[in-house]
Amino acid sequence: MKPIKVMIVDDSAVVRQVLSSVLGADPAIEVLGTAADPLFALNKMEREWPDVIVLDVEMPRMDGITFLKKLMAERPTPVVICSTLTEKGASTTMQALAAGAVSIVTKPQMNLRKFIVNASDDLLGAVKAAAQAKLRQIKDKPVAAAKHSADALLPPVSPTAMARTTERIVAIGTSTGGTQALEYVLTALPRVCPGIVIVQHMPERFTAAFAERLNSLCQIEVLEARHGDRVIPGRALIAPGGRHMLLKRSGAQYMVEVVDGPPVSRHKPSVDVLFRSTARAAGTNATGIIMTGMGDDGARGLREMHEVGAVTFGQDEASCVVYGMPKEAMKLGAVSREIPLQQIPAHILRNERP
């Protein structure tokens, strides 16, 4: 296999050195070069075009967003955004994801050397996933077995866990490519729609900026979930990065618990945790939807929803950025039906039963 050719674009010499060290240590990756800004990068890329670009968002002469839009218009190339974990950085990164970036990797403002130990797996995984991208169609890649299952947070579901109620709940899980897909789905929903709970794999703090952006675009209310928030019609709650979100029921009311715990299916928040808790709390009153994403998080949880009588959908391969999570759910028999992204809003609004 040919190594993945990577160009690193960041105005910090230290960041360029650290990223080059992390990526260059992997035999599957070749660092073509580094550049202090997009204009320098374009000059170098004329000689040899990279498979993946690791891109900062705040740089002199040309910012990362402008460069990204130029790339997507003239020569689409998979881009991994490397952004600082700040509120300003999170807001700008949301613009980058909306413009077509594949994923986010966070970099610290201090102690970059420690980054090599703590975040190298995330960076390498993001670059290798992006390398498979043809932007709108990425082939799936095998992933390592999960270290934990949802058992780490809550016990398995009993088939008789929840009787039918009148309040419908929609649970959605997604990862790579999910920011654009969720924007499409949620902006298409009218104010009167079922309560929605969402896990989108995303780093801490970025989920707040993501929810704020969606809230400004949607008719429904979109919030980053807080412990004890109610799930009500016309509201979507997004699990905060770095925490698990569980659906709970008290009498006729649904609410969420936001808790710490180990990564489940290698993720925190985990779709498996959300789906299992939805199976336990809502049973046949729930609809589960697994969307574009790398890996298998959510497949087992969606099967548990299916087994207790929930309606379950998987996004079809043609409309996925990454047909990984839906494919694994299909393999487990967790999906009632596959549907294209364009049909998901209509199915959220229907009162479907198995």
Residue 79: give its domain's CATH number: 3.40.50.2300
322 and 203 inside one domain: yes
Q: Which residue has the higher pLDDT, 5 or 122?
A: 5
- pLDDT exceeds 80 at position 166: no
Distance CA 25, CA 2 (A): 15
Which residue, of 104, 131, 158, is where some domain finishes?
Answer: 131
Q: Using one digit for the tens of pLDDT, what is the confidence trace for 61-83? A: 888 889 999 999 999 999 999 88
Asked whether 58 and 82 are in contact (CB, 8 A), the reply is no
**Strand 253-259's sheet: what is its strand order?**
230-231, 253-259, 244-250
With both helix axes pointing from N to C terminus, report the angle between 38-45 and 64-74 in degrees, rounded to the nearest 10: 30
Distance CA 58, CA 34 (A): 16
Residue 249 included in any domain: yes
Mean pLDDT, residues 37-50 taken together: 94
Range with top average pLDDT, 60-64, 87-91, 257-261: 257-261
Q: Report the pLDDT value the prediction gives residue 57, as an integer from 0 to 100.
A: 86
Residue 141 included in any domain: no
Residue 106, CA distances (Å) to 82, 115, 168 in order: 6, 9, 36
Residue 143 included in any domain: no
Mean pLDDT over each residue of the chain, to the nearest integer: 87
20 and 81 inside one domain: yes
- Known catalytic membership, residue 297: yes
80 and 206 inside one domain: no
Which residue, of 131, 162, 185, is where some domain finishes?
Answer: 131
- Known catalytic membership, residue 201: yes
Asked whether 198 and 222 are in contact (CB, 8 A), the reply is no
Q: Which residue has the higher pLDDT, 349 or 351?
A: 349
The Cβ of residue 34 has, within 10 Å, a number of other Cβ atoms equal to: 20
Residue 168 included in any domain: yes
Range with top average pLDDT, 49-63, 97-111, 204-218, 232-246: 232-246
Q: Report the pLDDT value the prediction gives residue 158, as an integer from 0 to 100.
A: 52
248 and 164 inside one domain: yes
155 and 122 inside one domain: no
Tally of domains in the chain: 2
Asked which of 65-69, 92-96, 199-203 is least confident by mean pLDDT, the reply is 92-96
184 and 327 inside one domain: yes
86 and 165 inside one domain: no
**What CATH number should be reported for the domain holding residue 327?**
3.40.50.180
Which residue, of 69, 101, 131, is where some domain finishes?
Answer: 131
Catalytic residue among 148, 201, 267, 306: 201
Distance CA 275, CA 15 (A): 38
114 and 157 inside one domain: no
Residue 139 included in any domain: no
49: enclosing H helix or E strand? none
Please provide the size of the chain in residues. 354
53 and 102 inside one domain: yes
Distance CA 243, CA 332 (A): 26
Catalytic residue among 83, 91, 120, 175: 175
Distance CA 286, CA 281 (A): 9
Asked which of 75-79, 95-99, 132-136 is least confident by mean pLDDT, the reply is 132-136
Asked whether 278 and 288 are in contact (CB, 8 A), the reply is yes
162 and 122 inside one domain: no
Catalytic residue among 51, 56, 296, 297: 297
- φ/ψ of 260, rounded to 5, equals -90, 180
Distance CA 181, CA 136 (A): 11
Q: Which residue has the higher pLDDT, 51 or 148?
A: 51
Range of 19's domain? 4-131
- pLDDT exceeds 80 at position 308: yes
Asked whether 298 and 290 are in contact (CB, 8 A), the reply is yes
Residue 159, CA distances (Å) to 212, 230, 327, 334 in order: 37, 25, 24, 15
Q: Report the pLDDT value the prediction gives residue 104, as an integer from 0 to 100.
A: 87
- Known catalytic membership, residue 56: no
**Strand 103-107's sheet: what is its strand order?**
29-35, 4-9, 52-55, 79-84, 103-107
Cα dihedral across residues 337, 304, 321, 241: positive or negative: positive
Residue 145 included in any domain: no
Does pTM surpass 0.85?
A: no
- pLDDT exceeds 90 at position 266: no
